[in-house]
Chains A and B, each alone.
Chain A
Amino acid sequence: MDAHMLVETTVPSGLPAPLWFVEFFKVLGFALHAAPMNLWYAGLVLAMLLQVRGGEHGRRFGSRLMTQMPVIVAFGINLGVVPLLFVQVAYPKLFYPATILMAWPWMAVIALLIPAYYGMYLYSFGLREGGTMSPLPRGAGWCAAVLFIVIGFLFANGFSLMVNVADWKGIWQGSNMAGAALGTGLNTADPTLWPRWLLMFGLALMTTAAWVVVDTAWFGRRESDSYQRWAPGFAWKLFSVGLAWFAVAGSWYAFATWPEGVSDAMFRGPLVVLTAATALAPGLPWLLLLLAWRRDAPISRPAAALVGVAQFAVLGINAVSRQIVQNIEITGYFPDYFRLADKLKAVQWSPLVVFLLVFVGGMAVVVWMIAQAMKASPELSE
């Protein structure tokens, strides 16, 4: 059976926006989602480890991060809606079959997210109560950390299976009843799955490291001088671990698992610049952190912001690269996919414009509210 046999090519309705617009918001949404997601993906397990073997300042950072985690997770999940929405607009013929083939593990994302979320809350409340933390919140924190990593594995499965059309048939034949998918498949035979999953963990460690200095400079000025001096050094070491992890997993992914078509495109021709930028981009925040550490002084707000922006750029470049690779993978199966998608578009201009206005207005309101919070009195008035 040819892989093409399992992908419907007709569409009931055209794209509601130009393809570039859909892909732009998908990439932007993913980069915005990745920033907070990284903080719970690697940050949660890091905070748990720091509570056990982190020393005074390590434990303090773990506590700070876990106190912030309810807000981080809420925004991270919310920002994840954007790429999820636009991936369904752009690739329904690939996204739905892939997730249906692994429907139960895919549904497990929701089932696991609820205990992970409340586990994180329990731990966070345990911290606020002060004193020695009882085993229940501590156990809940560890459970949440593990559950979030499992959820990451399931996500990596879903999105790698989406572009691994060649394996659909085998998964379907191994798990169906009279042709209807049982939904118990996973994409574990795909060689790209494991390095992709691990690659994200490396990125997550780097983002958490960047957050150490951003948090210290912008929200932790009331911490001790000793803590503020400790933060850049710890951040640099953590970033270095993440960078090494990223380099190993990224090399495994790019050199050992990319099919010929993807390798050709990403290592030759103009896209080699993007590949090189993706590999080298983490060097900038790493260097900035190194310089901050060598100064042996609390990091300034502008310097911390620069580290944060540089790390966000790393996430952005990774998201762009991933989108390009995804497009090449899809075109490998269906050379006309994007030409047809763009040809069939039926752009909804007025809703698009209203959305952009709402987006700008909504962000302005959020910025105003945050500004009010930043100006707020540090002490309770009652």
Chain B
Amino acid sequence: MHYPWWYVPHATAPMLIAAISVVHVLVSHYAVGGGFFLAVETGHAYRTGNRDYLGYLRRHARFFILLTVAFGAITGVGIWWTIGLASPLATEVLIRTFVFGWAMEWVFFVVEIAAAFIFYYYWGRLAQKTHLTIGWIYALAAWISLVLITGITAFMLNPGGWIESRSFWVGFLNPQFVPQVIARTGGALLLTSLYVYLHASLSIKDASLRNLVASRSARPALLGAVMITMGGALWHYFLPASAKAILALAAPLNILMALIFALTAVVFVLLYLGPYRNPGWLSPGFAAALLLFGLAAFSTGEFIREAVRKPYIVYNVVLGNQILPDEVRAMRASGYLESGTWTRAYVAERDPQLVVGGKIDEKRLLALPKEDQIELGHVLFQYHCNDCHAARGGYSAAGRLLQGRPPAMIRSLVEHLELSHFFMPPWAGTPEEAELITEYLASIAPPRPEGMAPDLNANVEASDLTPVTTAAEAK
């Protein structure tokens, strides 16, 4: 563990990344699709000489800038903030691997911002052709920024041949790249139409103009839904085996997968029956329901995308608990507390008697008083487990997950984490440290709920279930 761990009560620090990311993608996809919408529709309005439609598009451009340039940009920076705080090692690896990918994305952001402001503030003051060209520059720059960031986020799920080659381009053009670009481009088109519908339904009084907006945006939305389905199927095909297994195994993800299919289907049907076949249906209530369904489907998809990476932050490169897979063997030999910069410093300060010759003497750990063992077990929990588990209560709380388990079973689970649950990282400490964390976990796990029949273990001592030996005892 190279960095200090940030303890966020109940939620766990990585959940903050998830929260901000979900909010951000709901706006950032609109920032991409909205560019195409404004460029295509402004061109159509110019060609047909539809001044009312042009007026609406100008108002929409203002709404678009207010939402995407301000809120979208800040939440994007917010993701940077949170990944550095909650996943510092993974962020370090990603930034050093893809710094030029991010730097290129930044250039396209500059182009986007300049284009967006000139497109809006100089509306009616530029020649139509120039105005449209700038609209298209925005749309293309925004889409390229989507492509660039997708290369990096897709890498996190399946880095492909990068593990061997360490090549920027091999990592960027990973197996997940094309599927996710297709799905995200489709998502951008679909989500944009849903934003447009809500905005138009609230701001356009004239029924014929509202119908025009409804019918013009229906085809891109339906195309987007098809692209999401195609990209999603390819995404699933190119998932690593572990990610497919998690999808098949985890009940919450089963439910979420069913939910995402149901929501996408509902959105598709509503789009077909509503704006495509019956543009007149576009009322604020209908548009709000459509957008809510769309946002729910999107959020669910993003959550699933994050969840299937377990136990990694970057597949096979950085484990969720901020250690490198290559470090696990050495940490098992020298100890988790000794191997972590901040855990070692904590122990040296709190229990200097444990440090012999500048290193933590693992054999002395179990000689500590019980409460000190539990405290060091708590340290191990914070650094080894808190990335995915709250302690007593909260997100995936370890105490609740272990409720009723006797210490021997907890100990066995700790030492065989990756074998009992393949989506968990392997235990990266010594047997003595496994005992410390077991003490801590047993102290926070509530007892088995009373009154459950049949109570087959009523008279069995917990230690009877599995023999427990430390390495020191074994020797």
Q: Is the CB of A352 within 8 A of B100?
A: yes
Which residues of the other chain, A, contact B77 by a CB distance below 8 angstroms?
77, 80-81, 84, 110, 113
| Docked pose: A1 CA to B103 CA in angstroms | 38
Least distance between B24 CB and chain A CB atoms (Å) = 11
User: Which partner residue on chain B sits nearest A86 by CB separation?
Assistant: B99
Complex Cα gap A334–B114 (Å): 42
In contact, B88 and A84 (Cβ under 8 angstroms) = no
Q: Contact: B70 with A118, CB < 8 Å?
A: yes
With the chains together, A362 CA to B105 CA distance in Å? 11
With a cutoff of 8 Å between Cβ atoms, the chain A residues found around residue B166 in the complex are 346
Q: Does A201 contact B (CB under 8 A)?
A: no
A8-B3, A74-B113 given; A84·B107 CB < 8 A: no
Q: Mark B100-137, 1 if CB is under 8 A from A, else 0.
A: 11111011111101110110011111100010001001
A348-B345 contact in complex given A85-B95, A381-B124, A381-B125, C-beta closer than 8 Å? no
A81 to B346, CA, bound (A): 34
Query: With the chains together, A13 CA to B118 CA distance in Å?
Result: 41
Assess the B137–A365 pair: CB atoms within 8 A.
yes
B63 within 8 A of A: no
Interface residue range, chain A: 35 or more
Given contacts A96-B3, A180-B382, A381-B125, contact A6 B114 (CB under 8 A): no
Interface membership of A370, Cβ < 8 A: yes
- B168 an interface residue at 8 Å Cβ cutoff? yes
Chain B residues within 8 Å of A97, by CB? 3-4, 88
| A366 within 8 Å of B (CB atoms) | yes
Which among B89, B92, B118, B346 is the interface contact of A369 at CB below 8 angstroms? B118
Does the CB pair B78–A110 fall under 8 Å?
Answer: yes
Pick the residue among B51, B89, B102, B348 that contacts A1 (CB under 8 A): B348
Interface residues on B, range: 35 or more
Q: A354-B104, A379-B125 are in contact. Are A173 and B349 (CB under 8 A)?
A: yes
Residues of B156-184 at the interface with A, using a CB-CB cut-off of 8 Å, are: 166, 168-169
Looking across the interface, which residue of chain B has its beta carbon closest to that of A95?
B84
B375 part of interface (Cβ distance < 8 Å): yes
Closest to A88 in B: B95
> Chain A residues near B124 (CB, 8 Å)?
380-382
The residues in B between 294 and 326 inclusive whose CB is less than 8 angstroms from any CB of A are 318, 324
A181 within 8 A of B: yes
Let me know if B272 is at the binding interface, CB within 8 A: no
Is the beta-carbon distance between B125 and A359 smaller than 8 angstroms?
A: no
Most B Cβ at <10 Å: residue of A6, A93, A369: A369
The complex places the Cα of A160 from the Cα of B73 at a distance, in Å, of 25
Does B6 belong to the interface (CB within 8 Å)?
yes
Q: Which residues of B contact A189 (CB under 8 A)?
A: none
Q: A100-B4, A179-B379, A366-B114 are in contact. Are A77 and B73 (CB under 8 A)?
A: yes
Using CB atoms, name the residue of chain A closest to B381: A178
Q: Write the A96-119 contact mask toward B (1 if CB under 8 angstroms, else 0).
A: 110111010011011001100110
Selected interface stretch from A14-22, A226-234, A262-270, A308-316: A14-22
By secondary structure, the A interface counts as helix
- Whole-angstrom distance from the CB of B265 to the nearest CB of chain A? 34
Return the contact of A103 from the options B85, B111, B122, B123 (Cβ within 8 A): B85
A15:B96 contact, CB within 8 angstroms: yes
A107 to chain B, nearest CB (A): 6
Asked if A77 and B74 sit within 8 Å, CB to CB, the answer is yes
A5 to B338, CA, bound (A): 12
A378 within 8 A of B: yes
- A372: chain B residues at CB < 8 Å are 118, 122, 126, 130, 134
Q: Please determine whether A366 and B111 come into contact, CB atoms closer than 8 angstroms.
A: yes
Q: Chain A residues near B99 (CB, 8 Å)?
A: 16-17, 85-86, 89, 348
Q: Report A147 CB to chain B, min CB distance, Å.
A: 12
Q: Please tell me if the beta carbons of A178 and B95 are within 8 angstroms of each other in the complex.
A: no
- A373 close to chain B: CB less than 8 A: yes
Q: Does A183 contact B (CB under 8 A)?
A: yes
Assembled-state Cα–Cα distance A100/B7 (Å): 10
Q: Decide if A179 touches B82 in the complex (CB within 8 Å).
A: no
Contact A107 B109, CB 8 Å, known A78-B73, A81-B77: no
Chain A residues near B130: list those with CB within 8 A.
372
Q: Do B84 and A121 touch across chains, with their CB atoms under 8 A apart?
A: no
Give Cα distance in the complex from A82 to B99, angstroms.
10
Question: Is A350 an interface residue when CB atoms closer than 8 A count as contact?
Answer: yes
What are 5 A-B interface contacts by the 8 Å CB criterion?
Answer: A6-B342, A107-B16, A180-B379, A358-B104, A372-B134
Show the binding face of B for A, using Cβ within 8 Å: 2-8, 13, 16, 20, 51, 54, 66, 69-71, 73-75, 77-78, 80-82, 84-85, 88-89, 91-93, 95-97, 99-104, 106-111, 113-115, 117-118, 121-126, 130, 134, 137, 166, 168-169, 318, 324, 341-346, 348-349, 375, 378-379, 381-383, 386
Q: A92-B96, A114-B71 are in contact. List 15 more A-B contacts (CB 8 A).
A: A6-B342, A8-B3, A16-B96, A70-B69, A70-B70, A81-B109, A96-B85, A96-B92, A99-B85, A178-B7, A180-B4, A183-B7, A366-B111, A379-B125, A382-B51
